[in-house]
Chain A
Amino acid sequence: MAPFLEKAKVKHKEEIFPGLYIFKLDSEIIASYSQPGQFVEADPGESFFLRRPFSIQEAEDGLEILVKVVGRGTAELVKNETEWNILGPLGRGFDFQNLNGALLIGGGVGVAPLKFLYKRMTRRQYFRQPHLGLDKAVEQASFWGDERTRIRFVIGAKTKSEIPIAETDYIRQKVIVSTDDGSEGFRGTVVDMLKAQSKLWEDNPKIYACGPAPMLKALYEFMLEKGLDGQFSLENRMACGMGVCQGCAIPMKNGYKLVCKDGPVFDFKDLDERTWMI
């Protein structure tokens, strides 16, 4: 029964590009309970009143998170190379049972929960296709853009240097990339790319998206127009992270929902025009 508090040692820290870091934390209990789409809240230390929320990017061998420095709290956190005080796992994650094709769409640091989701999806694939044999399954799990499973991964970034995954990884794993300036992959936003490349979605995959609000809003409108369905992971300023303070409420189709507890993953059908107004 979650959540838990944990003091987790920093196993690995890597600056992917200026202001964006991968942290690998030596978590046992939180990692073992984590599901794709869930998040942790980290304490930036004595100078800050509230924790900061981070999507879980990986929970196989400790806990991996992507930290983008967006203010003083995150700037303080990335200086901490010893031990993090984390609360988690928190929130409702992605639903990926009975999958029949999936399109994962990540914008910027929004890639984090989708990487975790992809890993779990492909692991499920192994159980669902025992005829593949172990070797095949392992090989398959290392390919993100597998056409047989119809699980495709799309990443949008401002420019090539800000793609939050190592270049060798996204080339080897067949991630489909768009950049606003065209320095890598498709030139334009991820939604521009969907408009230009209908083969990405015309077989009606379930769409899993996480990214900045303008991207999600554009995607929401595109999906409405095309009749697509899926789940979005949203973000908001939050305090308690566990549904107690009611501070992170956002307007949805059926009234206010808490990003921390009812989400952060929401069904597309529950989203509303008003969701994007805050």
Chain B
Amino acid sequence: MNKLEVKIGSLTLKNPVMTASGTFGYGDEYISLLDISKLGAIVTKTLTMEPRAGNPAPRIWELPYGMLNSIGLANIGVHRFISEKLPILRDYEATVIANIASADVAGYTEVIKILENEKGISAYELNVSCPNVEKEGMAFGADVETLLEVTRRCREAADKCLIVKLTPNVYDIGSLAQAAVEGGADALTVANTVLGMAVDIESRKPRIPSALAGYSGPGIKPVNLAKLYQVRKAVDVPLIGCGGIMNYRDALEYMITGAAAVQIGSGTYKNPRLAVEVIDDMERYLNEKGIDDIDNLIGTMK
């Protein structure tokens, strides 16, 4: 029996450790560094219908407890993903979750329709929260009605497991979680990057041209963990914890709080093997504690 196996809606994962969208490319980049089939799932870089060049440079800024990014959903587009990347991921037997975004509701469903019949994709994760895209991305995830609408339309288009990745940059994340579930989400990822900013006091310019950026790294773990706690109280679907995970202890905090799975994000940049190390350490932890099934750990916060 695989004690790390978890269920996310209709999806059974060999372990609860995924790589977060945007921090693991399309997965094939890491083949020389780790066995990508070992991962619970690879969540792809956000895919849009058309390729996107991304935001003006500079796009990143390092901070003491993480980094700011404003990439602008730079990606190769869904068609090139299918022709160039998906066959490799299938060959390596990776479990793949396609993260998707669009400027309008119809665009989400169009991308889903294109992916729906492709073998090798296990689920969709809707990016409704990327704070880098000035209008569209922010609006979907921050407004109850819009989020309900986009989730419902995607649910109608998708037979595969549907995950909505929430933004933490809202006051009442519970209401938004409820909207996504009402719209038909099988699971929720909690959460995307936290809105952040930095200024150069010499030039008096923001470090990122658009000023506002996404903050990731260990600095946001308490923030997103609190969001997951709030979402756990608001809805009853499986949750995927994301934000600032740098080791198995961080991952377990999310799981004890109520996450059925976790995503490793920008921690991968420093340690490309972080996700597989978390899997190994998690298994060791279960063995040491005499826990024979990780389900017996999820949501057991006292």
Identify the A interface with B (CB < 8 A): 1-5, 43, 47-51, 87, 236-251, 255-256, 278
Contacts and interface: CB of A to CB of B under 8 A. Distances in A.
Given A240-B23, A245-B23, 5 more contacts: A49-B64, A240-B268, A248-B60, A251-B56, A256-B74
B62 A256 contact: no
Interface in B35-58: 45, 53-54, 56-58
A29 to B, nearest CB: 10
Interface stretch (B24-32, B120-128, B157-165, B171-179): B24-32
Between B24, B58, B217, the greatest number of chain A beta carbons within 10 A of the residue's beta carbon is seen for B58
A9 to B, nearest CB: 19
Between B22, B56, B217, the greatest number of chain A beta carbons within 10 A of the residue's beta carbon is seen for B56
5 contacts: A5-B272, A87-B272, A239-B69, A240-B268, A244-B23
Contact of B60 (A4, A47, A245): A245
Interface of B: 22-25, 29, 31-33, 45, 53-54, 56-67, 69, 71, 74, 217-218, 266, 268-273
A240 B61 CA distance: 13
A241 B25 CA distance: 12
Contacts of A3: 32-33
Contact of B69 (A2, A5, A247, A250): A247
A141 B54 CA distance: 45
Contact of B67 (A1, A50, A243, A246): A50
A50 B270 contact: yes
Contacts of A47: 64
A243 B272 contact: no
Given A236-B58, A249-B74, A5 B33 contact: yes
A49 B62 contact: yes
A1 B266 CA distance: 23
Nearest to A71: B62
Contact of A246 (B32, B59, B61, B66): B59
B152 to A, nearest CB: 31
Nearest to A277: B57
Nearest to B60: A247
B57 A278 contact: yes
Nearest to A261: B29
A238 B67 CA distance: 11
A3 B22 CA distance: 19
Given A49-B217, A49-B270, A247 B31 contact: no
A49 B66 contact: yes
A49 B65 contact: yes
Contacts of B268: 240, 244
Contacts of B63: 49
A161 B177 CA distance: 62
A239 B266 contact: yes
A119 to B, nearest CB: 25
Contacts of B59: 246-249
A4 B57 contact: no
A115 B56 CA distance: 33
A249 B270 contact: no
Contacts of A247: 59-60, 69, 71
Given A51-B269, A244-B23, A245-B266, A278 B29 contact: no
Nearest to B69: A247
A256 B57 contact: yes
Nearest to B34: A5
B42 to A, nearest CB: 12
Contacts of A245: 22-23, 60, 69, 71, 266, 269
B282 to A, nearest CB: 20
Given A49-B67, A243-B25, A244-B24, A249 B62 contact: no
